[in-house]
Amino acid sequence: MNTEEKRSNDRGQQFREGFRDGVPIALGYLAVAFTLGIQAKEAGMSVWEATVMSLVNVTSAGEFAALTIISSASSYLEMAISQLIINLRYMLMSFALSQKVSPELSVPHRMGMAFGVTDEIFGISVGRDGALSPFYNYGAMSIALPGWTVGTALGVVMGNVLPDSVVSALSLALYGMFLAIIIPKAREDKHVLAAVIVAMAASWLCTKLPVVREISAGTRIILLTVIISLIAALVFPVKDEQEAGEHE
């Protein structure tokens, strides 16, 4: 087998692994997007409009906020500012993933990976051992993103037919799915477990403190992410491969 064939097989393997890991994410997205589709219909959007919105945005909090702004007939400026603040966390996730890819990775591949950075895809990507292949992300995106888009469309068409109890249950699926992503990594690494527990406690505390609770949820997430990850990096630094080799 020549070098090109080996590289092609490796890309295919990475894609298949990403697709496999993306299946539970897609199922979670399919369920949660029902509620988004219902709200999109209430905001006056058609199936086509709601489907395109989910296909090109892929951000649950951002899309729910956008629908609220659309319903209230607010300005484009308010829409732009709200989306910037709500989605800033994806920039932090992209920074983290950029440390796991090869320095030689081309800009088109970086842009392709960036488009599919969601909380859940970030979770499975950052937990991969070794260098991160863009084809792993493409595999996960190829099943997860259609799940989100189709779920939105189904929510517009069928959401109002379902009982409220069913819709409420579906909206909890995403949280359970996200726990399924972070728990295995937390069980393997006590430092990750400590960071998760601190983050959960700090997030709850921020909803109770008089001044901090007035800050938007998206901004609180960004602040907590930066502060807790910085403290964790200082207290539990991760040795790179060169340093690890020198100490063996």
- CA distance to 115, 142, 169, 180, 195, per residue, from 130 (Å): 22, 22, 37, 21, 21
Q: Can you tell me the distance from the alpha carbon of 160 to that of 97, in angstroms, rounded to the nearest whole number? A: 39
Nearest CA among 103, 90, 100, 167 for reference residue 132 = 100
CA proximity to 139, closest of 111, 113, 105:
113
Q: Across residues 8-23, what is the average pLDDT? A: 90
| Predicted confidence (pLDDT) at residue 245 exceeds the cutoff of 70 | no
pLDDT of amino acid 2: 58
Nearest to 120 by CA among 89, 95, 98: 89
Q: What is the mean pLDDT of residues 114-143?
A: 90
What are the pLDDT digits (tens) for 138-168? 999 999 999 999 999 998 888 667 776 766 6
CB atoms within 10 A of CB 67: 21
What would the two tokens of residue 15 be? 């894609």
The full set of domain ranges for the chain reads 3-181, 189-248
Q: How far apart are CA 143 and CA 25, in angstroms?
A: 8
Residue 163: φ, ψ to 5°: -65, 150
Please identify which residue in the block is written with the tokens 């659309």: 70
Q: Which two tokens stand for residue 26?
A: 């897609």
Average pLDDT over residues 52-57: 92
Note the Cα 93 to chain centre separation in Å. Answer: 9
Residue 247, pLDDT > 50, answer no
Least confident of 33-47, 91-105, 228-242: 228-242
Give the Å distances, CA to CA, from 175 to 48, 83, 87, 171, 181. Answer: 27, 22, 18, 8, 10
Which pLDDT value is given to residue 239?
62
- DSSP 8-class letter at 237: P
Which pLDDT value is given to residue 127?
81
Q: pLDDT by residue (tens digit) across 168-204?
A: 666 666 566 667 667 777 787 788 888 888 888 988 8
**Rounded-to-integer distance, Cα 171 and Cα 208, Å:** 24
Which pairs with CB-CB distance under 8 Å and at least 24 residues apart come from 91-96? 92/222, 92/225, 92/226, 93/117, 93/119, 93/122, 93/126, 96/122, 96/126
For residue range 64-110, list pLDDT tens digits in order: 888 888 887 878 887 888 788 778 888 888 988 998 998 889 999 99
Tokens of residue 189, six digits: 């690494």
Higher per-residue confidence, 205 vs 175: 205
Q: What percentage of the chain has pLDDT greater than the value 90?
A: 24
Say whether pLDDT at 50 is over 90. yes
Output 28 or 6, whichever has higher pLDDT.
28
Q: Which long-range contacts (CB under 8 A, 24 or more apart) does 95-98 make?
A: 96/122, 96/126, 97/122, 97/125, 97/126, 97/132
What are the tokens at 110?
């970086």
Mean pLDDT of the chain: 82
Give CA–CA dist 246/48, Å, rounded: 57
